[in-house]
């Protein structure tokens, strides 16, 4: 036994702290040897068996950035928009969301009354969503109001906490995803004169610029500075106020990477996610959400070569599936979403076997006071899709 504990320490996933402590206190799923010290083959057999036994009671959703060993069990795969729609339409009692926290929260807001959303590892967060804290956003709003009658509509990327989504709903705004940002932003300009875009500076800038808004009509709001680091005059001049948040995965892609691909692989097409920097998006041949990237590359003629600027699991999977296309990552150095990566087959098995035993571990529940307004913001988006 001491030997097993030692092995457990070395074998890391899932680390003891990733298990929901209150559940452990109740004695649920705390026998690590049932999950840690299992060869991959039997782990997969056990997941398959649990999925089969749970039948229509469970639906597993997998975001495109999930690792292969997890996504192969997903009944539905997609980008955050598609998954949120599938979560809403699914009839299963349990929605096991193999994605990150904000996605599971959105599914919880959209779910039917009899459903429960489960996130296999509660530590699967999103660094970008964490960059906009509700207190900071409320301060920003109050400071904008102090500037005068600006007529601002808040637009919030799906990659945000439920509290920020609720704030958006309550203040007349809508959610956007990377596949409908321009449509939602156009709608916002029919309701107000300015947009406050949360929390991704790059998606906001890339979208607004493609809609014809010049860069000098955009300001960046740094929540750690008074008036976001802007003068009142600059704010009055701006049409778009961009929250200073970013994705640590996509911000790694640089214009130099595009230049290198162009030099080393003449004729290769570059497609990037809109969370990439403006300078990268400008140099790319195409921009797309995860779903958009997959569709564009899949539909392209077989001899097309692609350099893709997004998370590496999606790129590798696409390269394997479309073996006649030459597909590489835009950044030669591995670029993984470390929080998505927290969802392991061990966590998936743990939640499924607990369901079989009648225990719901790691449920995601958005507080009631946030749910109502977050739903308003999400519904506004859904009506525009």
What is the side-by-side order of every strand in the sheet holding 326-329?
286-287, 269-272, 305-309, 326-329
* Nearest-approach distance from CB 178 to ligand 13P, in angstroms: 4
Nearer to ligand 13P, 36 or 70 (CB): 70
Query: Where does this chain bind ligand 13P (CB under 6 A)?
Result: 64, 79-80, 159, 177-178, 247, 275, 289-290
Nearer to ligand 13P, 106 or 136 (CB): 106
Name residue, tokens 């799906």.
158
* Nearest-approach distance from CB 339 to ligand SF4, in angstroms: 6
Among ligand SF4, ligand 13P, none, residue 121 binds (CB under 5-8 Å by kind)? none
How far apart CA 362 and CA 18 sit, in angstroms, is 10
* Nearest-approach distance from CB 147 to ligand SF4, in angstroms: 30
Nearer to ligand SF4, 269 or 339 (CB): 339
Query: Where does this chain bind ligand SF4 (CB under 6 A)?
Result: 100, 126-128, 159, 247-249, 311, 337, 339-340
8 A C-beta contact, residue 183 and residue 226? no
8 A C-beta contact, residue 160 and residue 193? no
Nearer to ligand 13P, 194 or 257 (CB): 257
Task: Report the Cα 221 to chain-centroid distance in Å.
Answer: 22
Name residue, tokens 């564009």.
296
Among ligand SF4, ligand 13P, none, residue 80 binds (CB under 5-8 Å by kind)? ligand 13P
Cα atoms found within 13 Å of the Cα of residue 100, Cβ hemisphere only:
22
Among ligand 13P, ligand SF4, none, residue 359 binds (CB under 5-8 Å by kind)? none
Closest CA to 61 of 7, 4, 124: 124
Nearer to ligand 13P, 136 or 159 (CB): 159
Among ligand SF4, ligand 13P, none, residue 206 binds (CB under 5-8 Å by kind)? none
Task: Count Cβ neighbours within 10 Å for each residue of 110-148 and write b for 16 or more, e otherwise.
Answer: bbeeebbbbbbbbbbbbbbbbbbeeebbeebeebbeeee
* Nearest-approach distance from CB 311 to ligand SF4, in angstroms: 5
* Nearest-approach distance from CB 84 to ligand 13P, in angstroms: 9
* Nearest-approach distance from CB 5 to ligand SF4, in angstroms: 32
* Nearest-approach distance from CB 70 to ligand SF4, in angstroms: 15
Among ligand 13P, ligand SF4, none, residue 339 binds (CB under 5-8 Å by kind)? ligand SF4
Angstrom CA distances, 289 to 96, 294, 306, 376, stand at 22, 9, 15, 23
Nearer to ligand SF4, 121 or 311 (CB): 311
Among ligand SF4, ligand 13P, none, residue 79 binds (CB under 5-8 Å by kind)? ligand 13P
* Terminal-to-terminal C-alpha distance of the chain: 55
* Nearest-approach distance from CB 275 to ligand 13P, in angstroms: 5
Nearer to ligand SF4, 222 or 248 (CB): 248
Across the chain, the runs of DSSP E, i.e. the strands, are: 58-63, 76-78, 94-98, 116-118, 152-157, 174-176, 194-198, 218-221, 240-243, 269-272, 286-287, 305-309, 326-329
Among ligand SF4, ligand 13P, none, residue 248 binds (CB under 5-8 Å by kind)? ligand SF4
Nearer to ligand SF4, 339 or 354 (CB): 339
3-state class (DSSP) for residue 316: helix
8 A C-beta contact, residue 141 and residue 171? yes
Among ligand 13P, ligand SF4, none, residue 127 binds (CB under 5-8 Å by kind)? ligand SF4
How far apart CA 83 and CA 345 sit, in angstroms, is 20
Nearer to ligand 13P, 85 or 139 (CB): 85
């Amino acid at each position: 036994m001491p030997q097993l504990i030692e092995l457990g320490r070395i074998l890391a996933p899932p680390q003891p702290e990733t298990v929901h402590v209150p559940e452990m206190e109740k004695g649920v799923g705390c026998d690590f040897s049932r999950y840690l010290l299992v060869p991959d083959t039997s782990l997969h057999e056990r997941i398959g068996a649990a999925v089969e036994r749970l039948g229509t009671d469970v639906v597993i959703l997998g975001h495109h950035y999930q690792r292969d060993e997890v996504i192969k069990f997903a009944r539905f795969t997609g980008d955050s928009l598609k998954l949120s729609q599938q979560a809403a339409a699914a009839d299963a009692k349990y929605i096991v969301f193999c994605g990150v926290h904000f996605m599971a929260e959105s599914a919880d807001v959209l779910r039917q009354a009899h459903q429960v959303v489960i996130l296999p590892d509660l530590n699967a967060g999103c660094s970008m969503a964490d960059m906009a804290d509700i207190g900071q956003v409320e301060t920003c709003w109050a400071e904008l109001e102090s500037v005068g009658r600006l007529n601002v509509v808040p637009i919030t990327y799906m990659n945000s906490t439920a509290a920020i989504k609720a704030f958006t709903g309550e203040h007349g705004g809508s959610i956007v995803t990377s596949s409908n940002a321009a449509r939602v932003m156009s709608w916002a300009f029919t309701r107000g004169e300015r947009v406050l875009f949360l929390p991704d500076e790059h998606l906001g800038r890339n979208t607004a610029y493609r809609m014809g808004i010049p860069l000098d009509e955009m300001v960046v709001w740094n929540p750690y500075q008074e008036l976001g680091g802007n003068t009142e005059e600059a704010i009055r001049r701006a049409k778009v106020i961009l929250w200073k948040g970013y994705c640590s995965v996509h911000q790694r892609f640089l214009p130099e990477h595009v230049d290198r691909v162009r030099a080393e692989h003449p004729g290769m097409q570059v497609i990037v996610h809109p969370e990439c920097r403006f300078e990268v998006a400008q140099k790319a041949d195409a921009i797309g959400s995860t779903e958009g990237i997959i569709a564009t590359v899949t539909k392209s003629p077989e001899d097309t070569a692609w350099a893709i600027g997004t998370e590496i699991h999606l790129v590798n999977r696409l390269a394997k599936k479309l073996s006649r296309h030459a597909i590489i990552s835009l950044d030669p150095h591995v670029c993984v979403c470390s929080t998505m990566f927290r969802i392991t087959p061990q966590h998936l098995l743990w939640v499924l076997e607990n369901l079989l035993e009648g225990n719901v571990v790691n449920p995601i529940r958005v507080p009631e006071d946030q749910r109502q307004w977050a739903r308003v913001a999400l519904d506004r988006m859904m009506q525009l899709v």
